[in-house]
Structure 1
Amino acid sequence: MDVEELLSALDPDQRRVAEHLRGPVVVRAGAGTGKTRAITYRIAHGVLVGAYEPTSVLAVTFTARAAGEMRSRLRDLGAHGVQAQTFHAAALRQLSYFWPHAVGGPMPQLQEHKAGLVAQAAGNLGISVDRTTIRDLAAEIEWSKVSLAGPEHYAEKAQATGREAVAGLTHERIERLISAYEEAKSARGVIDFEDILLILIGIMAERDDIARQIRHQYRHFVVDEYQDVSPLQQRVLDHWLGDRRDLCVVGDVSQTIYSFTGATPAYLRDFRARFKDAAEIELVRDYRSTPQVVDVANKIIAPGRLAGSVKLVAQRPSGPSISYQDYEDDDAEAKDIAKRIVALRERDVLLSEIAILVRTNAQSQAIESALSAAGIGFTIRGGERYFSRREVREAMVMMRSFARSGVDATMPDTVREVVGKLGWSRDAPKAAGAQRERWEALNALVTLADDIDRARGADLAGFVAELEERAATQNAPTIEGVTISTLHAAKGLEWDAVFLAGMSEGLMPISFAETPAAVDEERRLLYVGVTRAREHLHISYARARAASGRGNRKRTRFLDGIWPETENVSRATRNRRRSKEMATEFELNHPDDVALLNDLKAWRTVQASDERKPPYMILVDTVLMSIASSKPATIQELGRVKGIGMTKLDQYGSAILHVVDGHR
């Protein structure tokens, strides 16, 4: 593959990213704009032209799954040997290598879960805890470490940032618990995940020889999802860089939804304050979503737009209108969502291309029941891990054996033979349940085998190696079934159809989001949910939790001015509007004005039908009356009509002037 062939797959802005191979670069990339594509092609371009040695590139992202996907994409582009890792995985690899030289002796065991140590620390202080409290305190310990607060500065920093104390404990009490946790950890001779980064920072700061070795190994850095960097991760990145400047960062401040974990968009927002000559490139062309979805996304984020965010520009053809619906209760909402999914399936939308997104895990119970009753298969993101399923483990064992035996068949055919021995067939079981789930899990291996064979023609041993890497990073293949997920867990994913359920005050924004910053983060979370949808988007809420409950829920404030108001307008309000319209209409004394008004209303009816909207959402009657009275001749004159607005002027200006011209 030559350079032009490689870069021809990119749009002009993505190509600018791929061609800018040196120096500091900040890419502000909106949802669906192809940011991962841009940076993987940038790396592949650098390797192809000899600007980068593959092993000198370190691409860092935030989940093992995303890192695995990036490695797979880079292999498809011929960029073998490039390291794509999470911060922790890259740091652990370096720490494991240098520990004997820097510290000596065996490296301490990594404690993957904090629960036992937190419980011990709490007991030592006489603090009564249950499972939920332990989880909350473990999260607070993690926040203190990634925020570089430390046991001695936790209370001061938590108070300064307005952080709520958890489990009914004061900040000072939690500070003492953090110290007790560190003591318990030292007594057991173990380290936690945050220690990996902290210890590596300490070694690189104290040992110039080790720092030089690491910097000699990695010379070119790419950081994806840079809006999610914590102070601790930024400190590690600073030590990796040293005084060099070959850094490319990519992110979107509008998708900052992990501030509660210590992530901050400040490093992305202020990148050019640190690197004043940095190249700055925006990716705004949204290839994922229809104009209807993009319009809603832009409107949601606009009131809380942050410095450095981008406004999306849709590239896909027009699609169906966004669907909005309120329900009597949660069960009614879940049942109607299931009914709509059945309708989508009948229109050939794959179940694996449908997701139901909720704010909290507790919301999924009614949805699971409704899907089961409708015979719709589903998976819960964050539930049983794919590679932990028995049939998947058995298939991998059998494929390893087949690979060693040197079977004379194509890789996809051999995979089909293996899973066939475990109960897979070409036709899926019709009923939902455990048998269907088992078939879906095995069929995902068949689909993945076909995809990899088309992409790079791997043999069976190569396919097994791919599966082992995916298992290590929990990068599961797609399973045919509706996905139920929280909004947080859905980040980075996309589907043809998305149902946003439970979008009411108290859930969106969540009730404990009490500060302006917390509410803004909830707004960004809804933005993330909306931008997961490619084509179909249904937004709903229930007025009551149960059929016998009081219907006092209100839809989220974030949809004010977006949610159609027709069904919620009272009779008194309608009467007031009609009286105002009649009073205005009375002023149209000339027959030509009334005739023009009627033609404008006829145009509006057609336009509303085309857009599948109520007519008033195109233009209200009072605006049409003003146009009929003033008869504007130019766009500038039309723009002076009260109530038209720039957006409506862009959308309908030419068509309105055409109607007016017919009455001159």
Structure 2
Amino acid sequence: MSTQTNSSLPAGHPDAILEALDPEQREVATALRGPVVVLAGAGTGKTRAITHRIAYGVRTGVYKPTSVLAVTFTARAAGEMRTRLRELGVAGVQARTFHAAALRQLSYFWPRVIGGAPSRIAEYKAPAVAEAARRIGISVDRVAVRDLASEIEWAKVSLVSPDDYVRRALTDGRPAPAGYDLQTVARLATAYEDVKNERGVIDFEDVLQILAGILAENRSVADEVRSQYRHFVVDEYQDVSPLQQFLLDQWLGDRRELCVVGDPSQTIYSFTGATPRYLLDFRRRFKDAQEIRLVRDYRSTPQVVHLANEVLRRGRVTGALELRAQRPAGPPVGFTTYDDDESEAAGIAARAGRLIAAGTRPSEIAVLYRTNAQSEAFEAALSDAGIGYQVRGGERFFQRKEVRDAIVLLRGAARSADPDQPMPEQVRDVLTTAGWSEKPPAARGAARERWDSMQALVALADDLARAPGADGEPATIATLVAELEERSAAQHAPTVEGVTLASLHAAKGLEWDAVFLAGMSEGLMPISLAETDEAVAEERRLLYVGVTRARVHLEVSFARSRNPGGRASRKRTRFFDGLWPDDPADRSRTPRAKKGQARDLLTGEHDVALFDALREWRRSVAQETDKPAYTVLSDATLAAIAEIRPTSTMQLARVNGIGPAKIDKYGESVLAIVAQAASGASDGGS
């Protein structure tokens, strides 16, 4: 991001906070009085804008830090917001999830309003749902319990009571979970509430409902909360549910000091009750609201931004923002068709290996897919390739035994730390006693995973040492322990070196230098369960989220068959109609655009003249063999050849999309064309 760095303002001057912002971000930061709605596209620096807004409000005296409540949807995002505010020298602001903020207030007021100790929160609904099913006489298995629990959760966050469930489900066209009718689900929801009441527990939705009810009905409690919190910021506002909006309304009362930030194009949780309605209708509710749009994308290259914009444009997504890339041009977006899932996983692992060999950190590479079940093939392929990985959504970092043990050791070391020894050296000394070493173990498996965990702590210590705190004092082991405790509470794990495997939903809010979008075939993207226009539109938005996770490298792929030797019955996702190079379906849908689109998507550091020569050769081969051009070699493969310029069969074999069979058929011709281009020949025919 470009910043203004030539100002002579002293570091403590309020306006110094604004110097690192672009004009639109600065407009957000200086819009200190609500109502304000910020429409922020992916990669446009929304967190930066709103944290600078809070910091500027505090520095100018408009806000008291303790009067600001910033809410978001994940503990990780809340933790990141607190970290950024601390780096800006602002302490005392409450940055929490909706549930964390509500639970804190409910626990405080419970004894006064309800009496006694607060009820225990049931972490999981499954036991109560299973008991409720038994009481009403329906048979359930583990999958059914999960689906029914999700449906109960949807009803509660949508403010739909059991008595009103059937009518609302029919109105919305919402089917009951498979194997059950709407009346049965309504009866189950009633029984579920009875089970909870008898056990003296509440669920997470109850926390919001009970607090909102207290604030709506008890004026003295509402006045106390509203006198404490006078300024509200809501991040990811497109994901607000009716229940969360109801609680937010109680927090606000009749006041207007509200700043909301969101992107309708990233609404991907409608199935849980989230709705972009409140974001899209904000200016109808607050007719004088200031609207600011952030569309300068600092995250991704123009090639990635172009594809993201096209995915939305072709789907006519409501409220979509057109991003404007701010980074220099990067490599082309790669499109690869594999024979089967095993080949796709192996090809992606090989490509990841080449990126790592070229200098990309493993932690800056991600493989994203639609369903968690797809991860197994990539885990196996990466293991076979000797590449470390981490599955997002697997065991939580701070629950790992080696991490817990290490924090205990660091906490003890903090009490007797040598003030003259650099903190990173002390951390290394402590962790060496727990089995850490400068070099990782040669073998993969549990030993390497333990080392990766402790290495993440070492790297975090190095990061803290390079960035002294707001008081200007160097970081100590006590600083590190405090940081780890705060991150543990927010589940904001430090970076573990390894390729990330994650579902598209789990990837939201994250970014990597290189992203592989795998399994982009009909039935997976959009998922086969997406049977309505609304559901398919949400799948398109989910794909957009996946595309916009990539900073530099983006590769898209699918496999024609599930198993090696299987029938090639799969088709690539409709969402890339007109965008997937050399797809015959694209030619029929967009006959004029193919050649230009291929050049638009495949512009980067490859030799353009060589690329054109290879395309001409491929056209000739396709005509001679009466085959579609894409079955010879894809545009992505030709672009890779033009970039790498292989001079031997061994080098050619390293290119994605050209296996042994195709090397036997075309290798000699391809190498001859590369050699001719290298010698300056103009005739690229075979």
Length-normalised TM-score, structure 1: 0.86
User: Which residue does the alignment assign to 2:24?
Assistant: 13
Residue in 2 that maps onto 1:438: 450
Moved more, 2-11 or 500-509: 2-11
The CA deviation string for residues 618-642 of structure 1, in whole angstroms up to 9 with x for no partner, is 9xx9xxxxxxxxxxxxxxxxxxxxx
Counterpart position of 2:528? 511
Give the conservation status (yes or no) of the 8 Å contact 1:605–1:615: no
- 3-state SS of paired residue (2:415): helix
Q: Partner of 1:480 in structure 2?
A: 497
| Pairing 1:167–2:178 present | yes
Corresponding letter in the other structure for 2:552? E
After superposition, where does 1:218-367 map in structure 2 within 5 Å?
218-367=229-378
Question: What residue identity is the alignment partner of 2:285?
Answer: R
**Per-residue deviation, residues 571-627 of structure 1 (Å, max 9, x unmatched):** xx9xx99xxx9xxxxxxxxxxxxxxxxxxx9xx999995499769999xx9xxxxxx
Deviations 1:244-266 (A, max 9, x none): 00100000000000000000000
Q: Does 1:368 pair with 2:379?
A: yes
Aligned to 1:544: 561
- 8 Å CA contact 2:579–2:586 kept in 1: the answer is no
**Does residue 51 in structure 1 map to residue 62 in structure 2?**
yes
Which residue, 558, 573, 579 being the options, matches 1:562?
579
d(CA) in 2 for partners of 1:290, 1:611? 23
Using the TM superposition, give the Cα deviation of residue 431 of structure 1 relative to its aligned residue in structure 2, in angstroms. 3.3
Q: How many matched pairs?
A: 591
**How far is the alpha carbon of 1:370 from its aligned partner?**
0.7
What is the CA RMSD across the aligned residues, in angstroms?
2.4
Does the CA contact (< 8 Å) of 2:329 and 2:604 recur in 1?
Answer: no
Distance in 2 (CA, whole Å) between partners of 1:449 and 1:157 is 52
User: Matches of 2:613 and 2:255 in 1, distance apart?
Assistant: 59
Task: Give the residue type in structure 2 aligned to 1:412.
Answer: P
Determine which of 21, 24, 33 is the counterpart of 1:22: 33
State the Cα deviation string for residues 99-134 of structure 1 (Å, max 9, x = none).
Answer: 111111111111110010000000001111111111
**CA distance 1:302–1:611, change in 2 (3 Å):** farther
The letter of the residue matching 1:547 is P
Instruction: Give the partner amino acid of 1:39.
Output: I
Query: Residues of 2 paired with 1:307 and 1:281: CA distance?
Result: 17
Q: CA deviation at 1:420?
A: 1.5
TM-score of the superposed pair, with normalisation by structure 2: 0.83
Would the aligned equivalents of 1:361 and 1:486 in 2 still touch at CA under 8 Å? yes
**CA–CA distance in structure 2, aligned partners of residues 308 and 27 of structure 1:** 13
Please tell me whether residue 452 in structure 1 is matched to residue 464 in structure 2. yes
1:307 Cα offset (Å):
4.0
Structure 2 letter corresponding to 1:422 = A
Aligned residues of 2:370 and 2:519 also touching (Cα < 8 A): yes
Does the residue aligned with 1:543 lie in a helix, a strand or coil?
Answer: strand
Q: Secondary structure at the match of 2:71?
A: strand
> C-alpha displacement at 1:428, in angstroms?
2.5
1:93 is aligned to 2:104: yes
The 1:605–1:372 alpha-carbon spacing in structure 2 relative to 1, beyond 3 Å, is: closer
Return the offset for 1:566.
Answer: 5.7
Asked whether the equivalents of residues 338 and 374 of structure 1 are also in contact (C-alpha less than 8 Å), the reply is yes
How far is 1:4 from its partner? 2.8
- For residue 627 of structure 1, what is the aligned residue in structure 2? none
Letter in 2 for 1:488: H
Partner deviation per Cα, 1:5-29 (whole Å, 9 max, x = no partner): 2111111110100011012100000
Cα distance in 2 for partners of 1:269, 1:247 equals 15
> What do the CA deviations read for 1:378-437 (whole angstroms, capped 9, x no partner)?
000000111111111111001111112243333222211111211222222343222221
Instruction: Tell me the alpha carbon deviations over residues 532-575 of structure 1, each in whole angstroms, 9 at most, x when there is no partner.
Output: 000000100000100132110000000000000268799xx9xx
The residue type equivalent to 2:30 in the other structure is E
Paired position in structure 1 for 2:434: 422
For 1:231-279, what per-residue CA distance to the aligned partner results, in whole angstroms no more than 9, with x for missing partners?
Answer: 0000000000001001000000000000000000000011000011111
> 3-state SS of the aligned residue for 1:558?
helix
Give the stretch that moved more between structures: 385-394 or 452-461.
452-461
Deviation per CA, 1:28-59: give whole Å up to 9, x if none.
00000000000000001111111110010000
> What's the secondary structure of 1:413's corresponding residue?
helix
- Per-residue deviation at 1:470? 1.0
Question: Which residue number corresponds to residue 133 of structure 2?
Answer: 122
Q: Secondary structure at the residue paired with 2:330?
A: coil
CA distance in 2, matches of 1:65, 1:97: 24
Q: Which amino acid in structure 1 is aligned with residue 546 of structure 2?
A: G
Cα distance change, pair 447–607 in 1 and its aligned pair in 2 (3 A):
closer
* Alignment-derived partner of residue 225 in structure 2: 214
Q: Secondary structure at the match of 2:95?
A: strand
Residue 417 of structure 1 aligns with an amino acid whose one-letter code is D
Do 1:321 and 1:612's aligned partners in 2 also have CA atoms closer than 8 Å? Answer: no
The letter for the 2-side match of 1:326 is: T
1:526 aligns with 2:543: yes
Q: Is the 8 A contact 2:212 2:247 kept in 1?
A: yes
Report what 1:187 is aligned to: 198
Q: For 1:482, give the aligned amino acid.
A: V
Partner SS state of residue 20, structure 2: coil
The corresponding residue for 2:507 is: 490
Contact 2:159-2:243 within 8 A present in 1 as well: yes
5+ residue gaps in structure 2?
Answer: 1-11, 620-686
After superposition, the Cα gap between the structure-2 partners of 1:298 and 1:569, relative to the gap in structure 1 and judged at 3 Å, is closer
